[in-house]
Copies of this chain bind each other. A is one copy, B any other.
Amino acid sequence: MAIALNERKWGDFNGSSPLIAVYNSFHPLTPEMEALIDAHTFPISFRKNRYIISPIDRNRYLYLILKGVVRGFYKDDGTEITTWISRENEIVGTIRNLWTNEESDEYLQAIEDVDLIAIPHDLTTALYENFYEANIIGRKIMELHYKAACDRALICQLPTVKSRYRHLLTAFPGMVDRVPLKYIASFLGVRIETLSRVRTSEKNI
């Protein structure tokens, strides 16, 4: 019965959750783990500009991005601070309550129409508690996220707007064509007018 349901749910995805292939690329999963992932993850889509998570909701999921671009942001005295911008094949969620159902003051917003796989925190917790393989996968994924977060910090610590912009072009090719300039300026910790000027002068080189 559960298997029939899963086949229907994942009919458009070669019959199983796309998350399985992602996790398998870090460490082989057991059949029990794959069955749990098929049963508890699910596809979900959001239109451009919609909030995927906001502080009003108690967030209970991480999301694997299949298509589209998502940004994370906070509000600081009414000003939006874009903290990260992610795209296809990345796993995103609120940072402060990584696998827990606590409240968070973070927003996740679709920058384009997005297709996601929702990963319930309860599933993540169950995998960690019951399968040592999950901790190997989790450790490796956290290492990648850690390096990415360090790169984000480094970009904002570069001394000139020009060097930040150039670093961004290398780290995330295509971002400037997919993401509104105001979000990129906030992500880089610079004023939009300054970034706009730098972008124009870099184009003319």
Contact = CB atoms under 8 A, between A and B. Distances in A.
Each complex incorporates copies of this chain amounting to 2
Contacts of A77: 163
A16 interface: no
A90 B188 CA distance: 27
Nearest to A136: B135
Interface string A102-146: 000000000000000000000000001000100110110011011
A145 B145 CA distance: 10
A15 to B, nearest CB: 29
Contacts of A154: 74, 81, 83
Q: Which 9 A-B pairs have the closest CB atoms?
A: A156-B156, A132-B132, A149-B149, A142-B142, A153-B153, A135-B135, A139-B139, A152-B153, A157-B189
Interface of A: 74, 76-77, 79, 81-84, 95-96, 98, 128, 132, 135-136, 138-139, 142-143, 145-147, 149-150, 152-154, 156-159, 163, 186-189
